[in-house]
């Protein structure tokens, strides 16, 4: 499955369960480990886990592969590894503390264009 299709599936899955502040970050030029990140916020442990599970279900329904999942027990930060795309679902305080957007040095314009592309806009 190509990256753009995978991003669309993930963003749609997150929006289905009311994920907040969804960011799609293209990392292809920054690392060879994966081509993109999707970061989203959930308001509670329960919502974070539900968002991560919905991403997994939707990706598998479309024939994609989930390589691994980390953090489901705690529910503060769940990472879903889809190979070329890594999905981080976090509670607001965890997301603010780790600030992955700044870590990956992405400008707001790149966020917006990647998210729009993932939504098919």
DSSP strands (E only) in the chain: 20-26, 36-41, 68-70, 77-81, 85-90
Per-residue model confidence (pLDDT) at position 97: 94
Q: What is the pTM of this model?
A: 0.84
CATH number for domain 3-119, candidates 2.130.10.10, 3.10.129.10, 3.40.1110.10, 3.30.460.10: 3.30.460.10
Per-residue model confidence (pLDDT) at position 27: 80
- For the stretch 38-92, pLDDT in tens is 999 999 999 999 999 999 999 999 999 999 999 999 999 999 999 999 999 999 9
**Domain ranges within the chain, ordered by starting residue:** 3-119
């Amino acid at each position: 499955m190509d990256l753009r299709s995978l991003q669309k599936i993930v963003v749609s899955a997150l929006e289905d369960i009311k994920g907040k502040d969804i960011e799609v970050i293209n990392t292809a030029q920054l690392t060879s480990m994966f081509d993109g990140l999707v970061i989203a916020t959930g308001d509670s442990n329960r919502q974070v886990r539900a968002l991560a599970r919905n991403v997994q279900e939707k990706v598998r329904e479309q024939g994609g592969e989930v390589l691994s999942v980390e953090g489901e027990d705690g529910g503060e930060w769940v990472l879903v590894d889809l190979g070329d795309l890594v999905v981080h679902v976090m509670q607001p305080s965890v997301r603010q503390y780790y600030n992955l957007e700044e870590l990956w040095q992405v400008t707001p314009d790149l966020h917006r264009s990647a998210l729009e592309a993932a939504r098919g806009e």
